[in-house]
Structure 1
Amino acid sequence: MKRFAFLISFILGFPELLMAEMVPRNDFSTYTEDANSKVGFSKDYFSFSFFYGGSLGPPSGSFIDAEKDYDHNLLNRIQMGEVKRNIVGMPAISTYDRPIYQSTGLYGIELESGWTDYIGYGFTFQGQSVQAVRQRVQKQIHFALNEDVTTLPKDVQVYSDISALTFLSAHLLPKHKFDPYIKLKAGISFPTSDNIHANSRDDYFARNSAMTNGRAYSWGIGIGANYHANSKYFYMVEFYKQSTRIYSDQFTGRILNTFYLQLGVGIRLALNN
């Protein structure tokens, strides 16, 4: 009798037990779907990232052209005999008449927030520099105040800056792991240099060759993609070209163009609601 009563109770209670087992599975599916929807860019997106960019080519623009004019003029002065002696008192010759200018890299941090599911905005804080390997003329007090040319080329920094830029971004595939985008940036830069020339000849009455009152405006475009490994972390690769219009006491409005391949990693600080 007891076995019969137990059997009836089991039959009547089994549907309720089955439904109870089904509820957690439904909740788990909903949780998984919500978690997946948090991957990628959206209007509730907010992230922090840091990056480093390697140069894809030599810098260009009127800033570099002016420095190369100095190098070319120096070579002509050596060949014409205007620069009489080098530092050891022998006739000056050009041991290095093809100077090299190279961007040494771009580094920075970035904050980005979603405006809509397709449009974002943010701020970038970054720095870059340009190195040169070249000869130069210097004034010496020996040999009847002759001009000396450095016997060997020297590696010097001709430009360095720190920039604060704001940007707008367009994301083509929101809420996807693969997140291609385009960024337009603009802002201000604070340039410095210890080895720049106001013109194609050295002014030996101005002993300081450092840039003074350096200021600049910068703008650029980036094309790249983020890969959101999960809802928290992502990786980025970007091709970025920047132009900087530089002003100082030595010159007005010289342009520096640089082109980089950037790699970075970021963390997402906010998820979708």
Structure 2
Amino acid sequence: MKNLAFGILFLVGIPTFLGAEFVPPTQTPIYPAVDTGSNIGFSKNYSSFSFFGGTPISPPSGSFIDSEKDYDRALLDRILLGDIKRNIAGMPALSTYDRPMYRETGLYGIETEFGWTDYIGYGFTFQGQSVNAVRQNVQKQVHFLLNEDVTTLPKDRQVYFDVSSLAFLSAHFLPNKKFDPFIKLKAGISFPSGESVHARSRDDYNARNTEMTNGRGLVLGLGIGMNYHFNSKFFYTLEFYRQSTRIYSDQFTGRVLNTFYAQFGVGIRLAMGD
């Protein structure tokens, strides 16, 4: 009877004792890291790298385009006055003349930006743009007593291309927010080139070619837009960008090209800590 009581005590008490003695310590549950939003958006310790492309939202303008259009108007006047009578195929010049068109073909580049304060940033942009023209020119012909003849059909020509390096200051109005509106003021230098660029309103047949040589330029730009930081690492950007380039070359001095783009881009934030 004593042994039976001892056995019952052993079966009931020892597991209770062991369970109380060897219960593992309580551990903190492990959950996936949650982005609290403290690293979202622009801030003092911000840095980023982005790619962008721009589509034109207005025709190119300025004295560079005006000078090229002066050539086109002078050519049409010479055709109407009978100074140029034929195209290079021998047909009447007026019947095959078409009015020229000028268009930007886009703006593309890369950009890096750094935070100076929670509201002010700075950075650098490297970009390229071009302008094409669909138009006709004149050229000397051996036949018909060395007359000048107009080309038969308009030809698509790249009259301007540049690569620019710019620095900028930026103002951000909502730090540490997903929606990040900004203003950027840019300045820098460009290295332009171009085909069929006219130094004056008539062709110079003594010139060896009509390409722009020793092209260089000074650039000023203003951008207004918004970044959308959909997480702490990546963002989209939309920017309306107006640029003015003062161009110098062997063919002319100080012609201005104005362009206006809507830019779209994607970027990555490089600095994560605030």
TM-score (norm 2): 0.89
1:253 CA drift (Å): 0.6
Q: Is the 8 A contact 2:98 2:154 kept in 1?
A: no
Relative distance call for 1:5 and 1:182 in structure 2 (3 A) is: farther
Cα distance in 1 between the residues matched to 2:14 and 2:122: 69
Aligned residue for 1:142? 143
Relative distance call for 1:5 and 1:44 in structure 2 (3 A) is: farther
Identity %: 66
Cα distance in 2 between the residues matched to 1:77 and 1:235: 52
1:245 CA drift (Å): 0.3
Point out the more displaced range, 127-136 or 140-149.
Answer: 140-149
Point out the more displaced range, 79-88 or 93-102.
Answer: 93-102
Aligned-residue CA RMSD (Å): 2.3
1:98 CA drift (Å): 2.2
Q: Is the 8 A contact 1:75 1:97 kept in 2?
A: no
Cα distance in 1 between the residues matched to 2:240 and 2:269: 22
1:92 CA drift (Å): 2.1
- Alignment partner of 1:116 is 2:108: no
Aligned residue for 1:190? 191
| DSSP-derived class of the 2:77 partner | helix
| DSSP-derived class of the 2:96 partner | coil
Cα deviation 1:163-214 (Å, max 9, x = unaligned): 0000011111111111111111000000001111001111111131011110
Unaligned runs of 5+ in 2: 1-8
Point out the structure with max Rg over C-alpha: 2
Aligned residue for 1:243? 244
Cα distance in 2 between the residues matched to 1:48 and 1:218: 22
Aligned residue for 2:48? 47
1:32 CA drift (Å): 3.5
Q: Is the 8 A contact 1:46 1:114 kept in 2?
A: yes
Cα distance in 2 between the residues matched to 1:122 and 1:94: 53
Aligned residue for 2:63? 62
TM-score (norm 1): 0.89
- Once the two structures are superposed, the pairs formed by residues 164-243 of structure 1 within 5 Å of their partners are 164-243=165-244
Q: Is the 8 A contact 1:75 1:94 kept in 2?
A: no
Aligned length: 265
- Once the two structures are superposed, the pairs formed by residues 74-113 of structure 1 within 5 Å of their partners are 74-93=75-94, 95-113=96-114
